[in-house]
Structure 1
């Protein structure tokens, strides 16, 4: 039978000295962890402050996407698989993904593998900002072309430089809700991290092979190994530490005309040259909200010169 403690430590009955020592040790351990920032509340605050830190996107002067550019990957939204607002490719991280080196007193950073989701917030931050990375030796600054392989990684620093990866689905490894091909962020860049940009219109796809990729235009992001396109699912919602978000997967959804549906349509969003603190998509959203005519927002178009909302 377990011993029931019927007296407080101030009453010197039984093993009172042992009880006092245990309470003192618990308080010292709590204060020590608080000074080192190891409490759960402190770690959660550090995670949110760092992952939601604003980031500056690259400015494309000629309208073309280049290796080394910092962008936000945005799904255009639509109604093919349910009503869906535009969403951005975002990191889903918790305390288990945050790492640091106490010996060197280094800043915390994210370690893989990490999940990804489609967040409705389009404001550029560490969580939804990615860098176009070469995988075939192409130097930074060169134009990315259709059907050319590239990698998509998170930013340096707290982002941890993780790479977007995918692989064939199995019974043990697949998307949580839809059970389709999983998409995640990993630390090592291999063939599973290779992607290519495909022109969204099947009738003009062949003519655009080898042409430079334009920013802020609808494209398809195809996985090189599995030949499946990145997709945002409106009918599968994930509960994350940052709220409800769409599940992202690598799967090509075709309509009756054998064309990819809008769940596979993505935009490489860059900063507005006139307002470098905002992306072009945010600037167009502000223009739509402040429109005095009160007209309905337009759908995101396929050309960079037209309004996207």
Structure 2
């Protein structure tokens, strides 16, 4: 038994000696191990790729700066006469829809995806249309009211209630206007989170790009038909193909590249009294109103 105990005492010591032996036989800190050469080559490749992109202004930061420059160009606009005219640049504002902080008044605007930023630096076909609390006039939130093909109206004519018109961007990656459009929700073209028609830009004019304005008060609409539209007059904007209203979606806020924005859809909102909701009330603004909204990322509401 004494011999066995002696043997057991020596065993841990032998183990410690073996461990010490292993440690002394390990690689030194100066020895190159594993895929060292492959890692160096990969690092050199990434560095060359970075230098190439830097030389060609192809870095993410360059794309971001280009997008901001294109979309946040200040675009002063002034009222031209008593009525809104075809060809005129306007802001399209929903005056009573609350923003993320409760302040009323949101402006129709375009927004861009990460792909738009990387490939175009501007609006492209299928870029989304939202509403934003930013009211300062920029390319991002200014639109032109254009006559539809095959109609009698021309640029310079007064825009009247009931006239069909196009809502076009003031700029795009191609230099050609993009048109505000919406497809009815379907299996091929799903709607937003509420299954309402999503509003986007398109490069090709078609029937789903056509809109018309109706006077806000239902009992006066027939009398106001064909009457010229005055700036900042409350009205409904209807899609001609579906006869549904362009509407802000103040319950669908999300953070975009430019700050908080909410969805826009084609959907008829009604109050409990069966009147039109404030989310579907719009007006054309034809001149800038100076306010505290100086920063394009200002949440402003």
Cα deviation, 1:59-115, whole Å, max 9, x if unaligned, reads 222x21111101110001157xx96621000111023124769xxxxxx54211011
Name the structure 2 match of 1:306. Answer: none
Q: Is the 8 A contact 1:74 1:267 kept in 2?
A: yes
Equivalent position SS for 2:96: coil
Name the structure 1 match of 2:93. Answer: 74
> Matched residues in 2 for 1:167 and 1:7: separation?
67
Name the structure 2 match of 1:243. Answer: 259
- Tell which deviates more after alignment, 67-76 or 229-238: 229-238
Cα deviation, 1:240-284, whole Å, max 9, x if unaligned, reads 22222222111111235543121111010011xxxxxxx1xx24x
Q: Is the 8 A contact 2:63 2:118 kept in 1?
A: no
Q: Is the 8 A contact 1:55 1:124 kept in 2?
A: yes
> Matched residues in 1 for 2:123 and 2:272: separation?
42
Q: Is the 8 A contact 1:84 1:234 kept in 2?
A: no
Runs (5+) with no aligned partner, structure 1: 1-5, 102-107, 272-278, 287-309
> Matched residues in 2 for 1:15 and 1:7: separation?
16
Give the direction of change, closer, same or farther, for the CA distance of 1:223–1:32 in structure 2 (3 Å limit).
Answer: same
Runs (5+) with no aligned partner, structure 2: 1-26, 293-301
Q: Is the 8 A contact 2:111 2:123 kept in 1?
A: no
TM-score norm. by structure 1 comes to: 0.76
1:148 aligned to 129, 138, 163, which one?
163
Structure showing the higher helix proportion among its residues? 2
Shift of 1:58: 4.0
TM-score norm. by structure 2 comes to: 0.77
Aligned pairs (5 A) from 1:288-299:
none
1:170 aligned to 159, 168, 186, which one?
186
Bigger radius of gyration, 1 or 2? 2
